[in-house]
Amino acid sequence: MGVFSRISDIVNSNINAILDKAQDPEKIIRLIIQEMEDTLVEVRSSAVKTIAEQKQLERKITSLIADQEEWQGKAELALTKNREDLAKAALQVKNRLAQEVEMLEKRHAQVDADLVKQSEDVAVLQQKLADAKAREASLIQRHRTAGNRLKIRASLYDERVTDAFARFEQVEKSLDILEGKAEVYDIGRNTKGAIDELATLEADHQVETELAALKAKMGKSE
């Protein structure tokens, strides 16, 4: 069975709702368009047959009305010839023709209504078909883009990728520790140098102070 089973399914259809339920939107879009095109051909073919029937009924009704008038004339002629029996028979034929005309006119009215409905269905179907074709490329592109995004997102949350990032972070932490140890050695080395320099300065200062004091003492003694 196709996507649509009857013309009313298409006329009353909501394409977005159909696509929301689709397992393969691209396939469904193509099926919808194909089904619409096939149905449009069928509806047009049916409309052609309805128009043909309409014309046949019109010709038949016109012919029967002409026959009625003819039998009416025969009834009048019979009366002018004092043949009431023939006049009655002619009127009976005329009445049967009138009944047939009445039935055909009812059928003609039904055919007219069917043709109006078919025309409306064709118009709606043509509009939906045009809409589907106009949106086909866009919908297919959206489906493919969404599929690609889904694959990327799925790969980002894949356990293997997560494990790889965890290992990568562990390596970074190890490097941070190694770099920290190296910096500690540099800090210790720089601190030791500063202490030595300060000790030398203090010793020099003390010697200079003692030397100045000694010079002062010896100068006074002279």
Report pLDDT for 2.
44
CB 114 within 8 A of CB 50: yes
- pTM equals 0.51
DSSP string, 55-92: HHHHHHHHHHHHHHHHHHHHHHHHHHTT-HHHHHHHHH
The CA angle 129-134-138, to the nearest 5 degrees, is 130
pLDDT tens for the 222 residues of the chain, in order? 444 455 555 555 565 565 555 556 677 777 778 888 888 888 888 889 999 999 999 999 999 999 999 999 999 999 999 999 999 999 999 999 999 999 999 999 999 999 998 888 888 888 888 887 877 777 767 667 766 666 666 655 555 656 666 676 776 777 777 666 666 555 555 555 666 677 777 777 777 787 777 777 787 554
* Per-residue model confidence (pLDDT) at position 77: 94
